[in-house]
Amino acid sequence: MAAFGAAPEPSSSPLARAATAAAFVVALFMALLGIANSSPKFWIVPTVGPFDSEWIRPVILGCSVFIVLATKGFARHLQARNPSRARLGLLIDLVLLAAAFWCFWRYYVDVSEIEEGLFDFEPVHPIVALVGSAVFIVICWRVWGGPLAICGIVALFYFFSGEHWPWIFRTAPIVFLDTAEDLWFNLNDGILGTLMGILIFTVFPFVLLGTMLEQMGGGRSLIKLAFHATRNFRGGPAHAAILASGLFGTMSGGAVTNVVATGVITIPMIKRRGFSPAFAGGVEATASSAGQIMPPIMGAAALVMADFTGLSYLTIIVAALVPALAYYASLFASVVFESRRLGVEAVPDMDDDFAVAPQDFVNLAMILIPVAVVVFTLLAGFSPAGAGMLAMYSVVVLSFLNPEVRRDPFRIVRALVRGAETHASLLMAIGVVGIVVAVLGATGLPNDFAQLVGQATGTQLFLTLAVAAVAALMLGMGMPTLPAYLTIILILGPSMQSLGLSVLTAHLFVFYFGVASSITPPVAVAAYAAASISGGAPLLTSVYAMRIGLVKFVVPFIFAFYPVMLIVPESGADFDALAFASIIFRMLVVIYLVSSAVIAFDRRRLPWWEIAVRLAFALGALLPEPAIHWPATGAAFAYIAWHHMKFSARRNEAV
């Protein structure tokens, strides 16, 4: 989650210092807040509260708006572009801040009585809802760019003009006073409703955990140990980038920051081994983006998914494990084939900068122990928030094993500040998603859209999944993964479930493609971040990232048609060992075929017809009919054996 936005450079201005102080207070308050009430009775970590959520939400959001405007607001933006316009930017920030505080104050004053039916709406309430919506949209546009903000604008326009729209988009006439409850004064589907509550009460501990892990010294040690573990592989640094980015990404939770955090070390090493700049950036980008699908933390997405679906956190991470491992296996395979193509050899001796020291193993404990704490506390019955809190506390204690932290204990404070700043930015995006959620809930559009998709695709699950995949990729371009996933599942989830997909499978399917959007041209934000480090062409880097990560686009279709792959019964299929072994075996064959095809190399350069044959065999091996997939798998084995025998001169080359 630390990945959702890079923290601004420290500033000595009074406004920046005030923002830093506010961020620290918010982080400390949330670190001590009694948000783990569902934890076992032997919960002994100090907490404060409990407080009513009606009080906490507006306070945290008010502080978040101040933090975001002070660190990334219009004043700093316009000053950087034209210093003479700094005052205009400051005026905009002050207006937004005042409007936000007014809206949050009215929410705090009125929402409890409204929820209990003891309050009648007045004309001021829909005005509060519209002003609050506008504040989130404007700030989101400033921080995250246009795509998500435009979605919020379109949703609001549709909400108030739906009765004039044609076809299935036509809605019943709205009552202006009632829009206040639909948008703002609602603890369920409103902008400050369920989703915002999840982000504040459940995700925040994991945001703090991610920033603590990032700042306490474990990241570089993890990369050094990954280099050490893969030193005898031909791909060396590329394999190390995959391993380190996967482990680091599950905690950081965002592609861009993961690229920046690990890529500055791994990408130059990959280039020195002989790989092209575009390939080096592509490997780092696709490995970093995939950290969000890697259990056990999944960048806190698993937490949101658990609350949103009503399934347990453990169910989510168990279900996500096999698909994530399959995807990372494909990345390793792609690097192997690219190494063969370039003739890159293993270089066991590493640079002195990457020599592993005893302190690196100590620092690694700061990563492995908190992850273990999360898993074991969940098994012990703690809530996800309680597990995240305990893991974060463990990092604070373990960080003092690092001499750098002992020399500078204020690194802990800076990590907490960074976490609060990151979370504040994320809340602005979720505020806009809340607008979409409120409009969809009030208009019932998802159900109408589900009927439309059902009529268009009939009973063809594949077509419905293809529509969902394309929509997720398009909406996810330039957007944080979490908002993209939430928006698409709200619209297309009912359609997917109407064709027999379980809730869990539908959510994982959409989430995978939301993650994949960060490496999909033309707006491949993770690839562009990697290109800025590698020096490669941004678009070419994104093409390499998509080629290397092609299996990421295939895996969701596999577990949609073979839910046994998700292991858990909530996937919609009872676990059957034989069926599970069957799909895993065939999937490994598919990974080999697809990975070699996208690189166009195996034991030699592959001509176009061999690429086509491999892709055709891969498709055949995945079809549900046994009469098709087993002959296709057998033919694939025979073909691979022929290829290896035909070009035996390369048979004994090291991998």
- Whether 314 has a pLDDT exceeding 90, the answer reads no
**Average pLDDT score, the chain:** 79
Nearest to 396 by CA among 202, 247, 211, 199: 211
Q: In this structure, what are the phi and psi dihedrals at residue 294, rounded to the nearest 5 degrees?
A: -95, 115
Position 594 scores a pLDDT of 92
Secondary structure of residue 549 in the 3-state scheme: coil
Yes or no: say if 477 and 523 are a contact pair by the CB < 8 Å rule: yes
Give the model's confidence band at 30: pLDDT under 50 very low, under 70 low, under 90 confident, else very high: low
Q: What are the helix and strand counts (H, E) for the chain? A: 29, 0
pLDDT in tens, 502-524: 889 989 998 888 888 788 876 67
Q: Is 52 exposed, middle or buried (0-12, 13-18, 19+ CB in 10 A)?
A: exposed
HSE of 102 in the Cβ direction (CA atoms, 13 Å)? 17
User: Can you spell out the DSSP letters for 108-148?
Assistant: HHHHHHHHTT-----THHHHHHHHHHHHHHHHHHHHH-HHH
pTM of the shown model: 0.76
311 CB-near residues (< 8 Å, 6+ apart) = 305, 503, 504, 570
Nearest to 129 by CA among 99, 170, 158, 154: 99
Q: To the nearest whole percent, how much of the chain has pLDDT over 90? A: 10
Calpha distance 422→399 (Å, rounded): 21
- Whether 614 has a pLDDT exceeding 80, the answer reads yes
Position 167 scores a pLDDT of 76
Q: How far apart are the first and last CA of the chain?
A: 34
User: Span 529-545, mean pLDDT?
Assistant: 83
- Whether 414 has a pLDDT exceeding 80, the answer reads yes
Q: Which amino acid is at 224?
A: K
Position 8 scores a pLDDT of 40
- Whether 11 has a pLDDT exceeding 80, the answer reads no
Q: Is 610 exposed, middle or buried (0-12, 13-18, 19+ CB in 10 A)?
A: middle
Instruction: Answer with the residue of higher pLDDT: 306 or 560.
Output: 560
Q: What is the DSSP letter of 168?
A: G
- Whether 6 has a pLDDT exceeding 50, the answer reads no
Q: Is 77 exposed, middle or buried (0-12, 13-18, 19+ CB in 10 A)?
A: middle
Instruction: Answer with the residue of higher pLDDT: 202 or 38.
Output: 202
User: Span 305-313, mean pLDDT?
Assistant: 82
How far apart, in Å, are the Cα atoms of 251 and each of 24, 213, 284? Answer: 21, 8, 16
Calpha distance 582→493 (Å, rounded): 28
Q: What is the phi-psi region of residue 165: left when phi exceeds 0, alpha when psi lies from -120 to 50, beta otherwise?
A: beta
Yes or no: say if 559 and 505 are a contact pair by the CB < 8 Å rule: yes
pLDDT in tens, 335-391: 888 888 887 776 665 555 667 777 778 877 777 888 888 878 877 777 777 777 788
Q: What residue ranges in 308-350 does DSSP mark as E strands? A: none
Calpha distance 96→61 (Å, rounded): 13
Q: What stretches of 33-177 show up as alpha helix (H) in DSSP?
A: 53-72, 74-81, 86-115, 124-144, 146-161
Calpha distance 514→152 (Å, rounded): 18
Instruction: Answer with the residue of higher pLDDT: 53 or 175.
Output: 175
Calpha distance 469→449 (Å, rounded): 16
HSE of 220 in the Cβ direction (CA atoms, 13 Å)? 13
Give the model's confidence band at 7: pLDDT under 50 very low, under 70 low, under 90 confident, else very high: very low
Position 114 scores a pLDDT of 66
Give the model's confidence band at 450: pLDDT under 50 very low, under 70 low, under 90 confident, else very high: low
For 168-180, b/e burial (b = at least 16 CB within 10 A) is eeebeebeeeebb
pLDDT in tens, 588-610: 999 999 999 988 888 888 898 99
Calpha distance 245→223 (Å, rounded): 8
Calpha distance 536→239 (Å, rounded): 19
pLDDT in tens, 393-410: 888 888 888 888 888 888
User: Can you spell out the DSSP letters for 557-596?
Assistant: HHHHH-GGGG-SGGGSS---HHHHHHHHHHHHHHHHHHHH
C-alpha angle 78-82-87 in degrees, rounded to nearest 5:
55
Position 216 scores a pLDDT of 74
The single residue listed with the structure tokens 């961020």 is 23
Yes or no: say if 535 and 276 are a contact pair by the CB < 8 Å rule: no
Secondary structure of residue 48 in the 3-state scheme: strand
